[in-house]
Amino acid sequence: MFSNLYRQCLVEKHFVYNLFPLCKWSQCFASSQPELATESTIQAFEEPEKRSIKLEQRFIYPEFLPDPKIEWRNSIRERLERQDMLKRRSQIEIPEFYVGTIMAVTSFTPHSTSKKNRFLGICIQRKGCGLRATFVLRNIIDNLGTEVAYHLYDPTIEKIEVIRLEKRLDDELFYLRDALPEYSTFPLDMEPVILPDNTPIPVNTTQVILKPRPWVGRWERTDFKGINREHMMTLISDKMKMQIAKHQKPWEKYDLMKQYRATIPEEEQKEIFAEVYSQLHQLELGKKKSKRIRTFVKPKKSA
């Protein structure tokens, strides 16, 4: 009987689960027919952590993304580095910062009497990936331009403070070396500016004025938005103005392969941040709790 019913289902082109209503004992399985999987049911079974992951984290934690050069890729090394980076972040608070943020770094140095050194300046560069991530701070001290490069995960760094969180119009601010000193001068005792929670990062649209030539770089050939180009054109010769068009490369914005080789695919970014999201989220919650705790100072009796 069972074989005849099975043949009947094959002839009628039914699925196997349609066999049960034809049997006498199918009444015990009133809801035995499986439901087809839909997009809504698949999304319901997804982990909530993966759904809440935002790609905006690539701007907050750019060092977690590997180097886009294929010949330098190694999946095992990259995963081990991410684990070391998370362990380092559990020991020291590494705040969110961008190029243009005014920061202060306290590090251990054997050449100082106090064995510590604190430097405050504006971040003019942030590059590197993994444990090789670095950033450069610039400030003018005693009328002398001073720049200090730090490794973000250097164990000799004791504290990283964000004095004023903001962005600039460019990804690098090396043109501040040839700008007026007022754009790179910050007091060492500058008080931090606290932004309210869930506020967008302010963008500083200041356009600096360059000093007369000679310059460190050929800034007239670049497309930096933070330079006052009208004033810069008054500082260069007519021959230099004619050479600007020769060094422009307008076709690069259409070069899709160059953009592909310089970036990490979106699918791979999601996998990386899904791996480290839970630990980074716990570290952020710990930072918020520590900020809410207020230290109590016992009052002293006056004489």
* Segment 131-165, tens digit of pLDDT: 999 999 999 999 999 999 999 999 999 999 999 99
| Range of lowest pLDDT (144-153, 246-255, 279-288) | 279-288
Q: What's the gap between Cα 136 and its chain centre?
A: 16
- Name residue 148's beta-bridge partners: 137
Mean pLDDT, rounded, of the chain = 83
Place of tokens 């952020």: 284
Confidence of residue 298 (pLDDT cuts 50, 70, 90): low
Mean pLDDT of the 246-261 span: 92
Q: How high is the pLDDT of residue 114?
A: 84
Q: Nearest CA to 177 among 227, 238, 113?
A: 227
**C-alpha–C-alpha distance, residues 66 and 73, integer Å:** 7
Confidence of residue 297 (pLDDT cuts 50, 70, 90): low
Of 27-31, 203-207, 278-282, which one has max mean pLDDT? 203-207
Pairing status of strand 134-141 against strand 144-151: antiparallel
Dmax over CA atoms of the chain, in Å, equals 106
Could you give the 3-state DSSP secondary structure of residue 87?
Answer: helix
**C-alpha–C-alpha distance, residues 78 and 67, integer Å:** 9
Place of tokens 């962005």: 167
124 vs 112, residue with greater confidence: 124
Environment class of residue 89 by beta-carbon count within 10 Å: exposed (0-12), middle (13-18) or buried (19+)?
Answer: middle
Q: What's the gap between Cα 221 and its chain centre?
A: 28
**C-alpha–C-alpha distance, residues 222 and 218, integer Å:** 7
The amino acid at 252? E
**C-alpha–C-alpha distance, residues 99 and 126, integer Å:** 7
97 vs 21, residue with greater confidence: 97
Place of tokens 């990283």: 160
Sheet containing strand 144-151, strands side by side: 144-151, 134-141, 116-127, 102-108, 157-164
Asked if 131 and 174 count as a contact pair (C-beta separation under 8 A), the reply is no
Q: How high is the pLDDT of residue 22?
A: 45
Evaluate the omega torsion of the peptide bond into residue 214 and state whether it is cis, within 30 degrees of 0: yes
Q: What's the gap between Cα 181 and its chain centre?
A: 29
